[in-house]
Amino acid sequence: MNGGVLRVVVVDDHPLFRLGMTSLLTSLTGLDVVGQAADAATARTLVDATVDVVLMDLDLGGESGIDLTRELVRAHPGLAVLVVTMSEADESVAAAIRVGARGYLLKDATPEAVERGIRAVASGEMIMGARVAARAMSHLVGGRTAVRVPFPELTAREREVLDLLARGYDNAVISRRLVLSPKTVRNHVATILAKLSLSDRPAAIVRAREEGLGLDEV
């Protein structure tokens, strides 16, 4: 974040939607659209460590927004991806969350919902559109398998810190990778230990790796 302004990149292969979304976002206080991409190749050149949020369509003219999300989140662990797409299929929602998206909205979301979603994912929250959330809840009530997110008691930001902790990074490295102050990282680590009832960092690393965190290649 640059001076309190969220830097946003819009990735969508539909020019009218992309331009309309860009126009909306540039009219909002505290948001700065620093790039637009119609395909994965362009998105890779636009998204760097200074970008806070990417609005991601899942269908990029034959390319996969899921694969691109996975790639960008791995390259920039502090990046927040908010999916904005036409598909409300359960498989699409599950796949997006698995690869690191922090939010999932449909393209008929209101401008207010989009703004709220951007600010929420940028602050480390997970957010879903009303219809998407309702479907997920119905699956829980109906006994169907829901998307499994490790350590649901943690915020998305806390899971990011735990993932990097599980890779063996110290607070200084985590601070640099997530663009957080060392004090904020220390506070996150303390909160993680408390929420998971763990005694120390080694215990947290073991527990995180048991749940699959910290195991992917950097």
pLDDT digit string, tens, across residues 194-206? 988 999 999 999 9
111 in the same domain as 28? yes
77 in the same domain as 172? no
130 in the same domain as 172? no
164 in the same domain as 137? no
Tell me the per-residue pLDDT of 114-162, one tens digit each, with 9 for 90 and over.
999 999 999 999 888 877 776 665 554 455 544 556 787 777 788 889 9
216 within some domain = no
pTM, 2 dp: 0.64
Q: Which of 141, 165, 196 is the last residue before a domain boundary? A: 141
135 within some domain = yes
pLDDT at 5: 92
89 in the same domain as 20? yes
pLDDT at 218: 44
151 within some domain = no
Stretches where the chain sits below pLDDT 70 are 1-3, 134-149, 216-218
167 within some domain = yes
CATH number at residue 72: 3.40.50.2300
201 in the same domain as 127? no
147 within some domain = no
pLDDT at 112: 92
Number of alpha carbons in the 13 Å side-chain half-sphere of residue 73: 25
Domain count, the chain: 2
Domain that holds residue 181: 156-210
149 within some domain = no
